[in-house]
């Protein structure tokens, strides 16, 4: 089986992401590490105060002292290695379908409750809408 590479930092599957990779998952909240905000809550919980210039700053570069502490916390919790998990349409099985948007209202109208957290390709979504509307 072929090992895929992370599209953000090019590490092979099973390896830890390179520092700053936008695809790395936070071991605390399971969201993208760069955007999750756990660094602030975890570091302030151990007594480090957020400097005013870091508040509301989207592109944060932590001071070295904080960065070292945060890196240790991530390692202790257990950083999540890169593994490729394809996105699959729950109806037809198409691998990595192109994403599309519909309103929450429309999604809830046509997609049964136990399937609302699944992925559908646009073709399958259109099929479901037509099938329901034609019934």
Residue in this structure with the two tokens 């979504």, named with its chain if needed: 125
Question: Do 111 and 132 touch, CB atoms closer than 8 A?
Answer: no
Least confident of 14-28, 60-74, 77-91, 112-126: 60-74
Where along the chain do its domains lie?
1-85, 87-135
Helices 38-45 and 64-77 pack at an angle, to 10 degrees, of: 100
Determine the pLDDT at residue 78.
97
Tell me the pTM.
0.68
Please give the share of the chain, as a percent, with pLDDT higher than 70: 91
Summarised one tens digit per residue, pLDDT across range 72-111 is 999 999 999 999 999 999 999 999 999 999 999 999 999 9
Residues in a beta bridge with 91:
none
- CA-CA-CA-CA torsion sign (114, 31, 93, 129): positive
Determine the pLDDT at residue 59.
54
């Amino acid at each position: 089986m072929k090992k895929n590479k992370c599209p953000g930092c090019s590490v092979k599957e099973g390896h830890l992401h390179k520092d700053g990779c936008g695809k790395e998952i936070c071991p605390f909240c399971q969201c993208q590490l760069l955007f999750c905000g756990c660094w602030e809550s975890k570091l302030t919980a151990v007594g480090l105060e957020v400097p005013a210039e870091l508040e509301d700053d989207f592109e944060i570069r932590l001071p070295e002292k904080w960065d070292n502490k945060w890196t240790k916390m991530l390692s202790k919790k257990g950083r999540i290695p890169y593994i490729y998990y394809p996105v699959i349409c729950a109806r037809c099985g198409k691998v990595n379908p192109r994403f599309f948007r519909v309103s929450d209202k429309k999604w809830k109208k046509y997609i049964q409750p136990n399937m609302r957290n699944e992925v559908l390709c646009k073709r399958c979504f259109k099929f479901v809408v037509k099938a329901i509307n034609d019934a």
